[in-house]
Amino acid sequence: MQHRFRTAVSRIASILGLVIVSSALIAPSANAAERKRATVKKVAPSATASTKKTADRRVAVTLRSSDRQANDRRRVSAKAGVRPVKASAVSRAQVVPAKLSFGQMAGLHEVSDPLDLKSSVALVIDQDTSEVLLSKNDHAVLPIASLTKLMTGLIISEAKLPMDEPITITQDDVDTEKGSRSRLSVGTTLTRGEMLHLALMSSENRAAHALGRTYPGGLATFVSLMNAKARMLGMTDTRYVEPTGLSSQNQASARDLATLVNVAHGDPVLRELSTSPSYEVAVGRKTLQYNNTNGLVKNPTWDIGLQKTGYISEAGRCLVMQAEVAGRKLIMVFLDSAGKFSRLGDAERVRNWVESARAFGAPKMTAQKGNHG
């Protein structure tokens, strides 16, 4: 009996031993598998991050490469002296059409003349005899731009106001119609004489406006006087709305302007200031250099007694002058000229013609309706 009991205990002990050994062998495998699964879970995010870093590096390299190429292009452009142009600026320049002048819209350039003038309106008169030597659309009423400033100067000069009185540029003098620029910043103070000089010689808009604004009675009174003077001189085609010429509503005919030039030439102040080649004014610590807008005044072959230029897109290039040519005192009016220097070219063509007419007795000219202008 005891032997059977010991045998049963021994078998039970053997079975328990096998179970313990099996558990010991299975546990490490399970733990290893668990660790492997955990490792895979950890490696997967790490691999994604690594891939992302690699992609980021590729992007960064591409950008840096692009930057290098752009820098290389900029260096090449700089070396070649070529300035990069934005595509948008090019497209805008191609889309925006040139603004037509009133003369172009009226077809005045279709009128031809023997001198092939580039101005659609022209008038040349002998100042002493009033003989008309050349006329082309001389009754057409057009915007006159800064030729306006001749009347502005005439009103100021005849008023005998103190020329040493200081005048300060204000915001009211800033051009809000055309957006034109000026070196006379708001707050600049010059004398009335200096303002008049700049207005007549270099067509300074803020100076001209300040002259009208500070006139006794104000700007409205000044413009009324401009129109009253025009009526008194018989300038029936003329109208002024402001003293600078920036408004296209300032209009006149060549006939009227010839009358104004004749009267203005009789004023020594206007003669001197309008034909001054250059002028300097002290503004604060700076000295500003201004030049005449009419390059012919610096030409020693010309004898110019009075002049004024003008330009706005509605008026085209304009020029009026009193000059002595071939021993004759002439008044010249050119309106709505096409081309930056064409008005000066027209004056040269007239001078050459008058000089040749003196030698060969050429007749006076009248423009005819034709196929070119």
Catalytic residue positions, numbered = 146, 149, 203
Closest CA to 207 of 318, 283, 285: 283
